[in-house]
Amino acid sequence: MKVTILGNNSALPAFGRHPTAQVVSVYGDDLLLDCGEGTQVQLQRFGFKWRKTQHIFISHMHGDHYFGLPGLINSMSLLGRTAPLHLYAPKELKPILDQILTVADTVLSYEFHFHELPEGAAKLVETENFSVTCFPVQHRIQCHGFLVERKTRGRKILPDKCREFEIPAYFYDRLKHGEDYIHKDGRVIRNGWVTAEGPAVKRYAYCADTGFTESFMEYIKGVDTIYHECTYLDEDVQKAEARFHSTARQAALVAQMAGAKQLLLGHFSSKYRDLEPFRTEAEPIFPNVQVTIEGAAYEI
């Protein structure tokens, strides 16, 4: 499980940085979180295949988080996409997209499913491999963060050991769930002899645009990685508070309180060319911090 940053700037593109968008890759599925202007260009630039994207999540209705969406869904159709696409977004986005498609007399080549985000928290997607939950954050308008959980696939099969102990392939799924194998002659083959620990459950919290708050702490407690906005440095904390944004120091405090393992910083104001001060401010509070770089993939 990894997250690739497509855009990490706030509001305006600046200094080569783009508005917010990122891809969370889970077992071969690519989940797109937010879709700022230029997202489809960034997807191409960093080698993502649009056919692997079946779910897009939009946190709120500020343009730097969805202005890239109309172009992306249209391009998918121009390229002959046939797989369904599911969009989870504020209800206000649907009439905007409908109007754009209607005015252009566009008929998409694929099924397009719009799912309205609730006001509070809710499970949005549940598959065999992952789940996605939304939770409200504290912003100037209704805004949601997203919790992506990669499920475990059970224990890892050791094929050589299975052949050595003459375990038939049909039993492998039961081995993954921890069962022992019993031969017809009564011999018991212990699960630990033929399997190893599988991939652990992984949890990634995308905290979107938010002021400094503990209001959504219950949803991000103990996660492996948090992406938290830090539009400003702490010298501009009053500006951050007035605009319902956070500073790098505040983002580090949230990660510390959540007991997270890793913090990713993003959503930088266009007033900053040099981003190293964000690391300098956050690191004393939360040492395992990354100042995100567009195109970089971070392991969860």
Side chain identity at residue 193, one-letter code? W
> What pLDDT is recorded for position 99?
98
Determine the Cα–Cα distance for residues 79 and 74; give it in Å rounded to an integer.
Answer: 9
Q: What is the predicted pLDDT for the residue at 199?
A: 80
Domains and CATH numbers, the chain: 2-151+200-299 (3.60.15.10), 156-195 (no CATH)
Angle at 110 between CA 102 and CA 100, to 5 degrees: 20
CA-closest candidate to residue 266, choices 55, 30, 29, 36: 36
CA pair distance 191, 174, nearest whole angstrom: 10
So what's the pLDDT on residue 154? Answer: 83
The β-bridge partners of 87 are 56, 114
Catalytic hit among 64, 105, 209, 274: 64
Question: Residue 12: what pLDDT?
Answer: 93
pLDDT of residue 51: 84
Report the relative pairing of strands 188-189 and 225-229 from DSSP bridges. Answer: unpaired
Residue 50, pLDDT score: 85
Looking at residue 122, its pLDDT comes to 98
Active site residue 160: no
Per-run averaged pLDDT (10 residues), the chain, 300 residues: 98 96 96 98 95 96 98 96 97 98 96 97 96 98 98 90 93 91 94 89 97 98 98 98 98 98 98 98 98 98
pLDDT at residue 233 in the model = 98
